[in-house]
């Protein structure tokens, strides 16, 4: 206990010294930071003087003084937390919330003033130190919650700028530059950090009052970053110099394939299951259905109904992954998309898209073009409106020639930007009608400098083939089919999966089946089925082929039934449903009895079918029931044949015995 006052004073000295360094922590709230810093310096001198006394004097501190010191420690800890919170907030949010932040500083200063007023005098403290304490008391008493007039003016200017953008008034360069320099955003890096902070705070819904202004500010900062500081230099992409078998993540966090919506190719925030058993993000599949489509985008299968069942298990996994990766994950199903509803954000995105496209058109150097295309690539992930703006501004014809670039990063950025843009239906048309687009995709599939680029080219085929007429057109190009087959054979696992998805999508048109079969799709898919990592995608290809005319060619493949049954037993829900579908079409259209006989003798297959009928997805239950009926009919027919054969043998024996008796 004797050392307790010393430890308390040491903690107070350390904390006050830390706070004394907060003056330059942020370009905003400078007045409050400076005030805290000055008071903390005076406190540190006071506590330092007390600690320099001998141990007996420290031990003899009045109990009332010790109690005051403990309360002062709590106030200093709160001030440190407030200063730290201000330093980590986005500049825009800190500016918008300057009133309540200043009020918090004033409240804590008032608490400190009260504690200093009741702090008893301590013996043997020098007059100079007592004068410092008196000065500190006066400073705390004179504290007011007023906001710095310069910050008030900056907030008005920022809100006025947002209002002008909302009214489609393009900001003057000088005005934009002045506001952003006053915010302390003076280069691309600080703007990028501000965007990330704002997006995180919007996802966490930290301020309902200022949420519209914060959403608008994201678009405004993105626009200002491009206009004031130019397109930023992309972070180095992995494997950009050569083709390697590791499809590592790009500079941004690599989202697991199972967490991406097959339609938008973005992280699913609200995954739902459709009648085919496939999972999509609710917003994307709802838009797909509302556009008049009645088929599953991935499998091409007709949807028996349009009910969307929440995939809560997957949503929980995505939420957990987002927390681990420090990615905002917040879904409010009842509210519309706030970004889409924010006109200022929409107009800022339109201005950014137009500026980047115009700059790309005028760009002559590869390095400059790469930076611009990278910005377009990132911008195209911001939503459907932004994709529409980029496409409408003429960005797609400028990106297509870059697919054949010899510069690896530029090629990767171009194909990824087109992939992101292709999510929008109107952009699919623009891409398919752009001169050289198909040739460019083939170029990346065949000789892309990185596996990532080739994988994204395959994903672009998936996206484009979502439109029936484009699926047929892409399937007619034997080069695309051949290169996809080659990627399944030689690519890393993520590239193989996207290539199989593309083949499954092309197999959604009956006219393409013959070309797919002739190109060896059946063989590579059967080989991929044996790899657990690609089994689901491979069996989707086989089911699509079997359904639309490829069953006879599939049925003659050695071991096809055994491989499909293995997926039926051990695959995911969608994989099992596709395996059951493939088996149904094989039994009906490819050899009939012999394949059913081979299926029926597989150990445990009957139990697997019954289990699927009881607990599988709706499509899985339906396909399992059909497969069960086929097996039962075959069993009944086989039993009838056996009984007929036995009756025939008995009849022959009786007839022979009768003839012998007559002869005798």
The answer to whether residue 165 sits within a structural domain is yes
Average pLDDT over residues 360-376: 92
- Burial of residue 11 (number of CB atoms within 10 Å: 0-12, 13-18, 19+): middle
CB 198 within 8 A of CB 214: yes
The answer to whether residue 131 sits within a structural domain is yes
Residue 323 has pLDDT above 80, yes or no: no
Residues 174 and 129 in one domain: no
Alpha helices in 465-592, H assignment, sequence order: 468-476, 478-490, 493-506, 513-518, 521-529, 535-545, 551-555, 560-570, 573-589
pLDDT at 337: 46
Task: Give the DSSP letter of residue 549.
Answer: I
301-306: long-range contacts at Cβ-Cβ below 8 A with a sequence spacing of 24 or more? 301/276, 301/547, 301/619, 303/274, 303/275, 303/276, 304/275, 304/618, 304/619, 304/622, 305/275, 306/274, 306/275
pLDDT at 205: 77
Among the three residues 115, 147, 179, which one is the final residue of a domain in this structure?
147
User: What value does the mean pLDDT of the chain take?
Assistant: 85
R_g over Cα of the chain:
35
pLDDT at 325: 67
Average pLDDT over residues 217-240: 79
Residues 85 and 202 in one domain: no
CB 351 within 8 A of CB 389: no
Task: Name the strands in the sheet holding 309-310, side by side, starting at the edge strand that comes first in the sequence.
Answer: 279-281, 271-273, 309-310
Q: By percentage, how much of the chain surpasses pLDDT 70?
A: 88
Q: What is the pLDDT of residues 105-159, one digit of tens each?
A: 999 999 999 998 888 887 777 778 788 888 888 888 887 777 889 999 999 999 9
Which residues have a Cβ under 8 Å from the Cβ of 334 and sit 6 or more positions away? Answer: none
pLDDT at 58: 61
Q: Is the dihedral of CA 531, 534, 539, 545 positive or negative?
A: negative
200-209: long-range contacts at Cβ-Cβ below 8 A with a sequence spacing of 24 or more? 200/328, 201/89, 201/90, 201/93, 202/328, 202/338, 203/328, 203/329, 203/330, 204/328, 204/330, 205/330, 206/93, 207/93, 207/96, 207/97
pLDDT at 5: 80
Residue 335 has pLDDT above 50, yes or no: no
pLDDT at 54: 56
Q: What is the pLDDT of residues 65-113, one digit of tens each?
A: 889 999 999 999 999 999 989 888 999 999 999 999 999 999 999 999 9
Among the three residues 100, 129, 147, which one is the final residue of a domain in this structure?
147
Overall number of domains in the chain: 3
Q: What is the pLDDT of residues 422-437, one digit of tens each?
A: 989 999 999 999 999 9
The answer to whether residue 487 sits within a structural domain is no
Among the three residues 99, 119, 147, which one is the final residue of a domain in this structure?
147
CA distance 152 to 663: 126
Confidence of residue 341 (pLDDT cuts 50, 70, 90): low
CB 640 within 8 A of CB 646: no
Confidence of residue 373 (pLDDT cuts 50, 70, 90): very high
Residues 54 and 168 in one domain: no
Confidence of residue 221 (pLDDT cuts 50, 70, 90): very high
Residues 170 and 267 in one domain: no
- Domain range for residue 224? 150-229
The answer to whether residue 20 sits within a structural domain is yes
CB 526 within 8 A of CB 486: no
**What is the SS3 string spanning 278-334?**
CEEEHHHHHHHHHCCCCECCCCCCECCCCCCEECHHHHHHHHHHHHHCCCCCCCCCC
Residue 463 has pLDDT above 80, yes or no: yes
Q: By percentage, how much of the chain surpasses pLDDT 90?
A: 48
Confidence of residue 200 (pLDDT cuts 50, 70, 90): confident
Confidence of residue 263 (pLDDT cuts 50, 70, 90): confident
> Which of 21-35, 44-58, 153-167, 604-618 ranks highest by mean pLDDT?
153-167
Confidence of residue 663 (pLDDT cuts 50, 70, 90): very low
Average pLDDT over residues 288-303: 77
Residues 142 and 11 in one domain: yes
Confidence of residue 60 (pLDDT cuts 50, 70, 90): low
Alpha helices in 21-143, H assignment, sequence order: 30-52, 55-59, 63-88, 91-96, 98-118, 127-141
Among the residue ranges 109-118, 167-176, 632-641, the one predicted with the least confidence is 632-641
Residues 58 and 190 in one domain: no
**DSSP string of 475-486, one letter each residue:** HH-HHHHHHHHH
Residues 26 and 130 in one domain: yes
Which residues have a Cβ under 8 Å from the Cβ of 409 and sit 6 or more positions away? Answer: 234, 236, 237, 240, 370, 374
pLDDT at 595: 84
Tokens representing 596 are 């059913």
Residues 99 and 66 in one domain: yes
The answer to whether residue 204 sits within a structural domain is yes
Average pLDDT over residues 477-495: 94
The total of other beta-carbon atoms located within 10 Å of residue 658's CB is: 10
The answer to whether residue 237 sits within a structural domain is no
CA distance 178 to 175: 5
pLDDT at 57: 54
**Which CATH number belongs to the domain containing residue 288 in this structure?**
3.30.40.10
**Strand 271-273, strand 309-310: pairing:** antiparallel
CA distance 159 to 183: 13
Among the residue ranges 41-50, 231-240, 330-339, the one predicted with the least confidence is 330-339
Residues 90 and 194 in one domain: no
Among the residue ranges 321-330, 438-447, 484-493, 510-519, the one predicted with the least confidence is 321-330
The answer to whether residue 358 sits within a structural domain is no
pLDDT at 489: 93
Read off φ and ψ for residue 295, nearest 5 degrees.
Answer: -125, 160
Among the residue ranges 68-77, 327-336, 362-371, 461-470, the one predicted with the least confidence is 327-336
The answer to whether residue 48 sits within a structural domain is yes
Residues 141 and 190 in one domain: no
pLDDT at 122: 78
Tokens representing 442 are 């083939």
pLDDT at 46: 87
Average pLDDT over residues 297-304: 77
C-alpha closest to that of 351 among 519, 227, 449: 227
CA distance 558 to 554: 9
CB 419 within 8 A of CB 382: no
CA distance 173 to 185: 14
Which residues have a Cβ under 8 Å from the Cβ of 112 and sit 6 or more positions away? Answer: 39, 72, 75, 140
Residue 1 has pLDDT above 60, yes or no: no
Average pLDDT over residues 167-181: 94
Residues 160 and 295 in one domain: no
Residues 123 and 21 in one domain: yes
């Amino acid at each position: 206990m004797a050392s307790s006052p010393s430890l308390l004073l040491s903690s107070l000295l350390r904390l006050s010294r830390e706070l004394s360094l907060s003056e330059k922590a942020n370009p905003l709230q400078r007045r409050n930071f400076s005030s805290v810093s000055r008071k903390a310096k005076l406190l540190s001198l006071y506590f330092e003087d007390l600690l320099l006394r001998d141990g007996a004097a420290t031990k003899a501190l009045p109990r009332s003084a010790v109690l005051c010191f403990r309360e002062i420690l709590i106030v200093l800890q709160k001030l440190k937390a407030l200063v730290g919170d201000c330093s980590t907030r986005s500049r825009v949010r800190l500016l918008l919330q300057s009133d309540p932040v200043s009020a918090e500083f004033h409240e804590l200063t008032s608490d400190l003033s009260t504690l200093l007023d009741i702090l008893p005098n301590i013996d043997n403290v020098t007059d100079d130190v007592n004068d410092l304490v008196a000065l500190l008391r006066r400073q705390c008493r004179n504290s007011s919650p007023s906001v710095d007039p310069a910050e008030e003016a900056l907030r008005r200017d920022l809100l006025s700028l947002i209002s002008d953008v909302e009214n489609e008034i393009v900001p003057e360069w000088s005005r934009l530059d002045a506001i952003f320099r006053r915010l302390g955003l003076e280069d691309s890096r600080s703007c990028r950090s501000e965007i990330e902070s704002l997006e995180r705070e919007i996802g966490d819904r930290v301020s309902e009052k200022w949420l519209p202004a914060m959403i608008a500010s994201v678009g405004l900062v993105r626009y200002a970053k491009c206009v004031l500081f130019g397109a930023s230099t992309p972070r180095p992409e992995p494997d950009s110099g050569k083709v390697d078998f590791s499809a590592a993540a790009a500079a941004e966090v690599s989202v697991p394939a199972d967490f991406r919506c097959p339609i938008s190719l973005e992280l699913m925030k609200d995954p739902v299951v459709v009648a085919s058993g496939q999972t999509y993000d609710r917003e994307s599949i709802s838009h797909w259905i509302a556009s008049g489509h009645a088929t599953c985008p991935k499998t091409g299968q007709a949807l028996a109904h349009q009910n969307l069942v929440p995939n809560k298990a997957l949503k929980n996994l995505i939420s957990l992954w987002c927390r681990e990766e420090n990615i905002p994950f917040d879904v409010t199903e009842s509210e519309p998309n706030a970004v889409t509803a924010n006109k200022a954000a929409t107009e800022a995105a339109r201005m950014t898209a137009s500026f980047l496209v115009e700059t790309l058109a005028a760009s002559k150097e590869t390095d400059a073009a790469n930076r611009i295309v990278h910005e377009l690539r990132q911008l195209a992930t911001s939503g459907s409106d932004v994709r529409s703006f980029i496409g409408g501004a003429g960005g797609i014809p400028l990106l297509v020639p870059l697919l054949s670039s010899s510069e690896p990063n530029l090629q990767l950025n171009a194909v990824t930007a087109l992939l992101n843009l292709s999510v929008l239906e109107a952009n699919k048309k623009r891409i398919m009608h752009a001169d050289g687009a198909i040739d460019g995709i083939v170029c990346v599939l065949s000789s892309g400098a990185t596996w990532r680029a080739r994988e994204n080219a395959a994903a672009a085929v998936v996206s484009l083939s979502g439109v029936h007429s484009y699926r047929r057109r892409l399937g007619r190009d034997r080069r695309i089919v051949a290169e996809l087959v080659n990627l399944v054979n030689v690519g890393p696992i993520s590239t193989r999966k996207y290539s199989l998805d593309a083949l499954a999508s092309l197999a959604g048109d009956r006219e393409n089946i013959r070309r797919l079969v002739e190109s060896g799709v059946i063989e590579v898919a059967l080989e991929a089925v044996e790899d657990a990592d690609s089994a689901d995608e491979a069996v989707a290809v086989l089911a699509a082929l079997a359904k639309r005319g490829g069953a006879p060619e599939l049925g003659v493949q050695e071991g096809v039934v055994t491989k499909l049954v293995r997926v039926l037993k051990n695959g995911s829900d969608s994989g099992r449903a596709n395996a059951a579908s493939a088996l149904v079409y094989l039994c009906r259209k490819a050899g009939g009895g012999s394949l059913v006989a081979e299926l029926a003798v597989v150990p445990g297959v009957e139990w697997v079918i019954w289990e699927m009928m009881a607990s599988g997805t709706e499509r899985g239950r339906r396909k399992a029931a059909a497969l069960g009926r086929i097996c039962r009919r075959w069993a009944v027919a086989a039993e009838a044949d056996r009984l007929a054969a036995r009756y025939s043998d008995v009849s022959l024996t009786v007839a022979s015995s009768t003839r012998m008796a007559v002869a005798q």
